[in-house]
Amino acid sequence: MKNLSADVTRQAEAVQTALRESLVGLYLYGSAVAGGLRAESDVDLLAVISSRLEHGERAQLIAVLLHVSGRRAYDGPARPVELTVMLAEDLDPWRPVVQLQYGEWLRDDAIADRLPGPHVDPDATLLLAMARDAGISLFGPSAQELLPDIPHGAVRSAIVQSLPSLMEDLDGDERNVVLTLARMQATLDTGRFLPKDAAAEELAVTAPTDQAEMLRTAAAAYRGEIVDDWDQLAPALKDFVARVSASINAAS
């Protein structure tokens, strides 16, 4: 794990320790491998396991994540982790079934043992595609060896299917929704997975003036350069969400 930040190294080691013999592969993807972590970036990890999580294994994994992830980490503030756990048998043939997902937005649910069990999640298709495209193996074979090659048509379908759940988060999580929409649109346009801020900057080039300003503001805030005020950006936000949502739905 050379050249990784102390947070990422500690977090990856915690996941490996919790999953032990069932861990087949652990992959770092997202901003960490696409130009570097931004100020507000999560550490994106994908774990592939050989057998379904027993209750004790699941509880131990959640416990270690609560210790090492985010501003509220029990061991002291750290980068937030977004961990997705998938079963090896669901990769060949490929199915977007998530065994467990943890992120700081789910911390309170994790503490209360309310995280969902195994479930189909179209977003898992996108995570698999991103991890296979540029993921770094922290344990096990390379991403290209273990993870399925997701056809672009399946990526397009997953983007469309992921839109409704993303929209549920708009109120209160405006920046993340805007940046995720920008990346979705950029992926549909180019077939590439860009960093969120880069996708926003790219869309800003052709967006209406007020929406372009909003996109650049969201990107700058994501990098920690400014503080964003979404009350002031509300009109542009409404128009942007309507425009890009319609464009994404048209791709179905």
Catalytic residue selected from 13, 40, 57, 82: 82
* Number of other residues whose CB lies within 10 A of the CB of residue 153: 8
Residue 21 designated active-site: no
Residues sharing a CB contact under 8 Å with residue 162, sequence separation 6 or more, in sequence order: 122, 123, 126, 184
Q: How far is CA 124 from the centre of its chain?
A: 9
Angstrom CA distances, 234 to 19, 99, 175, 219, 230, stand at 43, 36, 11, 16, 6
Q: How far apart are CA 137 and CA 144, in angstroms?
A: 10
Residues sharing a CB contact under 8 Å with residue 199, sequence separation 6 or more, in sequence order: 179, 182, 183, 185, 186, 187
Question: Structure tokens of 147?
Answer: 């993870």
- Catalytic residue numbers, as ranges: 82
